Structure 1
């Protein structure tokens, strides 16, 4: 692994204190097939960012006027939990390739089964049967391998996580990186406060994948075996209790709420397309605290694959970093080249160069070349 540090037109080579080693087959069962039919969230103008004028893509009128684009919306934890009560989650453990960090993830077949059991509509049919559909489904039910790159990077720097008070994940999908930060917070028994904001184009993904994975992590890391069984049998003592399934009873979800409150953890969710309305919503969930030394993380993986969305995702990330202020780190994990699509890490770096943004690129040594850009 190598790392490059960029500051305007300067470039130097530095060595990092940790290493990565992946194969191109990691997470192949869930990795999205490369396709030319991937979705775009609106063709944002590239001119403003290229000229160093931040904001033109965020304010593109198409993001508001195009009726095919899902408009941003905030969702409370309570609103998502209402759709999960009584659901039995089937899940699996996922180990990150480099550090072997174990995370919990709801099974894809289980999500699709719940969707198919719902009253059908066009959107749900697309989500169940397709990998991607323009302005309808952005592939968030599947885990992308670069999200595990972020987990390994965070794990290698886990001693720094004690200072983190805010995490925003853009295009979170299964939210494995945020899940890792949440897990470390739980295991540390800290109660100094943690704000988590999970965002994805699809509300369905947030409710059926992102939040369930957070609940699974909380349950596996904080409940003993007696509590695991008791909370699932609170309504029916004959309910079977399994190691790889979790029944979301009213009592279990209430204990989840209480545990978050006791630990001063807040969970918020935002669906819909990026743009000015999106960033305004996220701003409202992140009250600025002047003089704080607490650190913040803005995480995203596999979101720079579409060239026409590059100005929009770039300006979204920089807007959030600028708004939060203080020691805020943006981590962008991606494949070096998205064959058949056109996006690349190099294009992202060029856009950052055009905006005079300092960044560091860590190259991951694997069969399928990938990188993590730190801003």
Structure 2
């Protein structure tokens, strides 16, 4: 997607409906009636495609006294030509902002690993709607064999996710990195890859997806493809829009290893005004009957809407 210069910013802001999903979880009272442009085709974004021309400030995020992650901060105007917006439907899906659920998810993953409830070493991990990618980065720090990051926007992957992955893995995994003399070229082990695209289509390029189009066939194919799929799927703040929950769940069923795959989801209990929320997604999963849901943590700190972390496994 072509970046807009400052001279084009007015046109950009007039052409796309904008709104902000605040930290309280509030959004617009109704979805814009404007027709949205078709999503860009799914594409793999290479590690070498990092967007170095976008100014980024690196900040420390303290998870606990034993774990600090690094994240970049980039401007939505520099990347998309849109100022003061968390979401532009059909164009930008909020990936440049660090949402609270990402930190909640990292903290819970760390607890699950420390308590012996989750083994990530050697596992195939997919982070959906990754944005900054901190949960996927944590999986890499504790030995995941493959970490694949997905976001709607290739620009988010180039300008934020890839730099975040590089700076964190350089700091914490020096023994598992092969640094080349060219600073713009870095080879990372384990297998780290990046994919951009809409949830309805991106399964077509995911290396470990089942690639079954028909939803009814998906449940059957899971029985026949026990060697396919991701062992762990991570997602934070992906369930805000009620209209996208079926697409998200369909992608998960196309991508998750059967029968031992597990999903970890963090998000707000309700996103007022946009219809989504963790409970709406849980209801969708329970109605489908394929997986079992378990509430792992609730966060009511007074600084935002009530947040939750859930775990899903096959029955």
TM-score bracket, normalised by the shorter chain, equals 0.7 to 0.9
TM-score, structure 1 normalization? 0.62
Structure 1 residues 269 and 365, CA gap change in structure 2 (3 angstroms): closer
Matches of 1:158 and 1:363, distance apart in 2: 15
2:112 to 157, 165, 170: 157
Verify: 1:198 aligned to 2:149, yes or no: yes
SS in 2 for 1:252: coil
Report what 2:239 is aligned to: 304
Within-5 A mapping of 1:71-82: 71-81=40-50
Give, in angstroms, the shift of residue 319 of structure 1. Answer: 2.3
Matches of 1:212 and 1:80, distance apart in 2: 10
8 Å CA contact retained: 2:125, 2:148: yes
Report what 2:57 is aligned to: 90
SS in 2 for 1:141: coil
Over the residues paired in the alignment, what is the CA RMSD in angstroms? 3.5
Give, in angstroms, the shift of residue 197 of structure 1. Answer: 1.1
Within-5 A mapping of 1:247-286: 251-254=182-185, 256-257=186-187, 260=188, 263=189, 265-275=190-200, 277-283=201-207
1:22-66 C-alpha deviation (Å, 9 max, x unpaired): xxxxxxxx95863218989xxxxxxxxxxxxxxxxxxxxxxxxx8
Within-5 A mapping of 1:333-348: 333-348=266-281
1:358 to 251, 267, 292: 292
8 Å CA contact retained: 1:39, 1:138: no
Structure 1 residues 372 and 162, CA gap change in structure 2 (3 angstroms): closer
Report what 2:70 is aligned to: 104
1:279-306 C-alpha deviation (Å, 9 max, x unpaired): 1211457999x88799821011111111
Higher relative contact order (CA 8 A, sep 6+): 1
2:249 to 306, 314, 333: 314
8 Å CA contact retained: 2:45, 2:154: no
Report what 1:68 is aligned to: 37
SS in 2 for 1:91: strand
TM-score, structure 2 normalization? 0.73
1:170 to 128, 142, 147: 128
Matches of 2:29 and 2:156, distance apart in 1: 20
Give, in angstroms, the shift of residue 162 of structure 1. Answer: 4.5
1:182-208 C-alpha deviation (Å, 9 max, x unpaired): 1223xxxxxxx7211111111110011
Report what 1:331 is aligned to: 264
Matches of 1:283 and 1:222, distance apart in 2: 24
8 Å CA contact retained: 2:47, 2:193: no
Structure 1 residues 91 and 39, CA gap change in structure 2 (3 angstroms): farther
Report what 2:28 is aligned to: 36
Matches of 2:93 and 2:153, distance apart in 1: 7
Matches of 1:223 and 1:299, distance apart in 2: 24
Structure number with bigger Rg:
1
SS in 2 for 1:220: helix
Matches of 1:72 and 1:293, distance apart in 2: 23
Q: Give the structure with the larger helix fraction.
A: 1
SS in 1 for 2:142: helix
1:116-172 C-alpha deviation (Å, 9 max, x unpaired): 3xxxxxx7212x442211100011000110111110111112253344421101100
Structure 1 residues 39 and 363, CA gap change in structure 2 (3 angstroms): farther
Structure 2 unaligned regions, length at least 5 = 1-21, 212-221
Question: Between Structure 1 and Structure 2, how many residues are aligned?
Answer: 269
Structure 1 residues 336 and 204, CA gap change in structure 2 (3 angstroms): same
Structure 1 residues 326 and 346, CA gap change in structure 2 (3 angstroms): closer
Give, in angstroms, the shift of residue 339 of structure 1. Answer: 1.7
Report what 1:221 is aligned to: 172
Give, in angstroms, the shift of residue 343 of structure 1. Answer: 1.5
